[in-house]
Chain A
Amino acid sequence: MSAAPEHAPTMAQATLADRIGPYMPVLLVPLLALAGFLAIMNPASWLTLTVSGLAMGMMIFIMASGLTLVFGLMDVINFGHGAFVSVGAFVGITVLMALGQMTAAPSLLLNLGAVLLAVIGAILATGAMGWAFEKVIVAPVYGHHLKQILVTMGGLIVVEQLIIVLWGPEEIYFNRPEALKGAVTFAGAAIEKYRLVAVAVGLAVFAAMRWVLRRTKIGLIVRAGVENGEMVEALGYRLKLVFVGVFIAGSALAGLGGVMWALYQEVITAHMGNHAMILIFIVVIIGGLGSVEGCFIGALLVGLLQNYIAFIEPKAALISNIALMVTILMWRPMGMIPVVKAK
């Protein structure tokens, strides 16, 4: 019998590609911005488009972040998520219109106070609606994807019709509060004030979500539950309660996103949430199911790309996001930062 070969492990340095690999999704945003700059070659236009793209991305992120958690933690495909966007927008804008004196006053504080009240109204309404939606529509179909698609789409249609019954079938136009109208000029570029507000709110929501998920026990439970819900329950945590909490939070975030989106468009329709769902799904899929960070990066990519392409080649803007999704999924089939394994 021959002697066993001597154990001589070797250490090899990882290649540059291996070392950069995990950070590539984060690098994509500045790389896309750089590519946009090279393609546009006009600093002022590029800055305007970049801020516009970031603002759009932030609003999509706010609307999509709840859906990715619901997808990841609960394995629920909620096609009804757009209903919360629409309801949030209608409730928020109704509150805002009722506070006409505050929004028309030339006071930043009063204007922001009105927006804050509108946001609170939207969050409360969509949070409560999320609780009812989970109990009545989603709970009976846990674990059945086809049924989930059917009943949540049905739920979306019912909610849209209820909006039409309550607010009428016409589009509702409105004006932003005085302080959020107009633009500021920076380095020769005109930047809408509201877009700066949207970027700030988006960053605040992202920071708050990261803090909750990374620094609190409930965040630990949610992150662990996305990965292995059965084991979380075996540790003694009532994951079904967490499910309901996440669904309510996700719905409330969609409501907040609805108000933000409405203020961006200055018009609301019963179908606005449904229309936003295409972008929301693209962001959730390319980000990686269950990943808030992936969702954030995906939303920024979608927002920036759509704005750059619309400026460079308007006819290609319609397909730019689908092309982005195809490209990213060819590179990373599970999305940029996947959290959930294929189920």
Chain B
Amino acid sequence: MSDAILTLDNVYTNIAQYHILQGVDLVVPRGAVTMLLGRNGVGKTTTLRSIIGHWRAHQGCILFDGEDITKLPTPAIARLGLGFVPEDMGIFADLTVEENMQLAAVSGPINSARLDWIFTAFPPLKTFWKSDAGTLSGGQKQMLSIARAMVEERKLYLIDEPTKGLAPAIISTMAKALKDLKQQGSSVLLVEQNFAVAKALGDSANVMDDGRMIWSGEMAELGRDAALQERLMGLSMEAH
């Protein structure tokens, strides 16, 4: 596909003696939200970590915006325009909310218009701007983690389970912010276990199992087909 922002071609990643990714193929179109779905432990997080370079793909090729990033160091990959929100949020607890955001603004001072947009999406961040990030609640930490990725415009956002363990009200806030990001035409690769959120946000979906991609297609198509969901992920919409 010519308009892909990210392409994984037959990627294998090992962690110690474990073969986690076993030939992953993935295409992330530009300007769309691509969902990465699957049961726990099938390799979704490893896929994101292989893209950002935290774990090295030992075989295969990862192309980002036309450039081979398979062997690039993590900082170089990030500076190409990748915003990463890890599953554990990666908050710097001893830094204030402000300092966390300043650190994420790699290319200079924070753009005030963008900060206003972030405060609108995540009002608690304005309230606790001068507080240590370690004192925030779980939901507020997740807001900060996503806001940190959004503080500068990125070519692609890699977001790993942003609604994990959050209360329904916070999930709504999170989903709305991600929808804003989508409406701005951003490219997003989103790992999500909450199928309702995935269905609301996703343009396309990729389902993993056992370290491989087992299905790719339109998110709407997967959302409509309960039997397909059951077969691919062992779930049905009735459960959500």
One digit per residue, 1 when the CB lies within 8 angstroms of any chain B CB and 0 when it does not, for chain A 228-249 equals 1011111111110000000000
- Cβ distance A22 to chain B, nearest Cβ, rounded Å: 11
Cβ–Cβ < 8 Å partners of B102 in chain A: 217, 220
Find the A residue at minimum CB distance from B78. Answer: A236
Question: Do residues B103 and A234 form an inter-chain contact, with CB atoms below 8 A?
Answer: no
One digit per residue, 1 when the CB lies within 8 angstroms of any chain A CB and 0 when it does not, for chain B 73-87 equals 111001100001010
Find the B residue at minimum CB distance from A237. Answer: B75
Question: Do residues A236 and B79 form an inter-chain contact, with CB atoms below 8 A?
Answer: yes
Complexed CA–CA distance, A224 and B148 (Å): 14
Question: Do residues A235 and B93 form an inter-chain contact, with CB atoms below 8 A?
Answer: no
Q: Is the CB of A81 closer than 8 A to any CB of chain B? A: no
Cβ–Cβ < 8 Å partners of B103 in chain A: 217, 220-221, 224, 232, 235
One digit per residue, 1 when the CB lies within 8 angstroms of any chain A CB and 0 when it does not, for chain B 83-108 equals 01010001011110001001110100
> Chain A: interface residue count, which band?
10 to 19
Find the B residue at minimum CB distance from A226. Answer: B94
- Cβ distance B71 to chain A, nearest Cβ, rounded Å: 15
Find the B residue at minimum CB distance from A214. Answer: B99
Complexed CA–CA distance, A238 and B106 (Å): 11
Q: Is the CB of A339 closer than 8 A to any CB of chain B? A: yes
Question: Do residues A234 and B95 form an inter-chain contact, with CB atoms below 8 A?
Answer: no
Q: Is the CB of B205 closer than 8 A to any CB of chain A? A: no
Question: Do residues B78 and A224 form an inter-chain contact, with CB atoms below 8 A?
Answer: no
Q: Is the CB of B130 closer than 8 A to any CB of chain A? A: no
Find the A residue at minimum CB distance from B151. Answer: A235
Question: Do residues A237 and B86 form an inter-chain contact, with CB atoms below 8 A?
Answer: no
Cβ–Cβ < 8 Å partners of A220 in chain B: 95, 99, 102-103
Cβ–Cβ < 8 Å partners of A217 in chain B: 102-103
Complexed CA–CA distance, A228 and B102 (Å): 16
Cβ–Cβ < 8 Å partners of A227 in chain B: 92-95
Question: Do residues B78 and A223 form an inter-chain contact, with CB atoms below 8 A?
Answer: no
Question: Do residues A230 and B93 form an inter-chain contact, with CB atoms below 8 A?
Answer: no
Cβ–Cβ < 8 Å partners of A235 in chain B: 78, 103-104, 106, 148
Find the A residue at minimum CB distance from B89. Answer: A231
Known: A217-B102, A237-B75. A231 touches B95 (CB 8 A): no
Could you say which of A221, A224, A228, A234 contacts B74, with CB atoms under 8 Å apart? Answer: A234
Within 8 A of A (CB), among B105-126: 106
Cβ–Cβ < 8 Å partners of B92 in chain A: 223-224, 227-228, 231
Question: Do residues A231 and B86 form an inter-chain contact, with CB atoms below 8 A?
Answer: yes
Question: Do residues B94 and A234 form an inter-chain contact, with CB atoms below 8 A?
Answer: no
List 6 contacting pairs A-B, 8 Å CB cutoff, sorted by A. A223-B92, A223-B94, A230-B54, A236-B78, A236-B79, A339-B94
Measured CB to CB, the residues of A under 8 A from B are 217, 220-221, 223-224, 227-228, 230-239, 339
Beyond A220-B99, A231-B90, A236-B79, 18 additional pairs, beta carbon < 8 A: A217-B102, A220-B102, A223-B95, A224-B92, A224-B103, A227-B93, A228-B92, A231-B86, A233-B78, A234-B52, A234-B54, A235-B104, A236-B78, A236-B106, A237-B106, A238-B75, A239-B75, A339-B94
